[in-house]
A and B are shown apart, each in its own frame.
Chain A
Amino acid sequence: SAVISQKPSRDICQRGTSLTIQCQVDSQVTMMFWYRQQPGQSLTLIATANQGSEATYESGFVIDKFPISRPNLTFSTLTVSNMSPEDSSIYLCSVEDTGIAEAFFGQGTRLTVV
């Protein structure tokens, strides 16, 4: 299974600021995803991070609010922009590979916006 490292593991941020979350995988993977888990809730897919092109966003999520980069097959970043308290959530990176059924997750970034 892939080993996924997310940084930071947690942060407390002021409203109106931005935070960039990093996801590093120990091997090349085909697909990388970003999920949000609001307090006490399940996971919601934000976007698919595409290598070398713009991310594919799910309904309700836009690039201006959640810009994503994926410069190579082992690394991606998610930025939460112009934060408000409603953005307080756990953000999780997930990876999958072509032809493999498993989806693996990082340990998550717990974000609190004050």
Chain B
Amino acid sequence: GEDVEQSLFLSVREGDSSVINCTYTDSSSTYLYWYKQEPGAGLQLLTYIFSNMDMKQDQRLTVLLNKKDKHLSLRIADTQTGDSAIYFCAERNAGNMLTFGGGTRLMVKP
């Protein structure tokens, strides 16, 4: 079945850029997503990218997709303490279902 992998933890200093990485195995993915989960909250959709694109930028967020290597990344510019959360990547397969990674906990130090 599909597999989506993320590193568990990332720590950065306030003002630096954060890069959260994700790899997936399903070559038939149609869309890939990044969600943010703050403590005690649900999932907030941050951004998504169509599998035929290789980059998408939305304010401080940049998504890069390497379809050949099945690698997705989320770059957060000028990271703030409010960006501290768990970030999940997810892929939508040809059957239209979502598979989530295990989440990366981002800690931003002042």
Contacts and interface: CB of A to CB of B under 8 A. Distances in A.
A103 B43 CA distance: 10
Interface stretch (B13-21, B62-70, B76-84, B99-107): B99-107
A51 interface: no
Contacts of A41: 102
B8 to A, nearest CB: 10
A43 B90 CA distance: 10
Size bracket, chain A contacts: 10 to 19
Contact of B40 (A4, A6, A106, A110): A110
A1 interface: yes
Contact of B100 (A42, A101, A106): A42
A4 B41 CA distance: 12
Contacts of A102: 45, 48
B101 to A, nearest CB: 6
Interface in B23-40: 31, 33, 35, 40
B98 interface: yes
Contacts of A43: 43, 88, 100
A72 to B, nearest CB: 22
Contacts of B98: 45, 103
Contacts of B92: 101
Contacts of B40: 110
A57 interface: no
A42 B48 contact: no
Given A43-B100, A45-B97, A106 B42 contact: yes
3 tightest A-B contacts by CB? A107-B42, A105-B43, A108-B42
Interface of B: 31, 33, 35, 40-45, 48, 50, 88, 90, 92, 97-98, 100-103
Interface of A: 1, 4, 6, 41-43, 45, 92, 101-108, 110
Given A1-B45, A41-B102, 4 more contacts: A45-B97, A45-B98, A105-B35, A110-B40
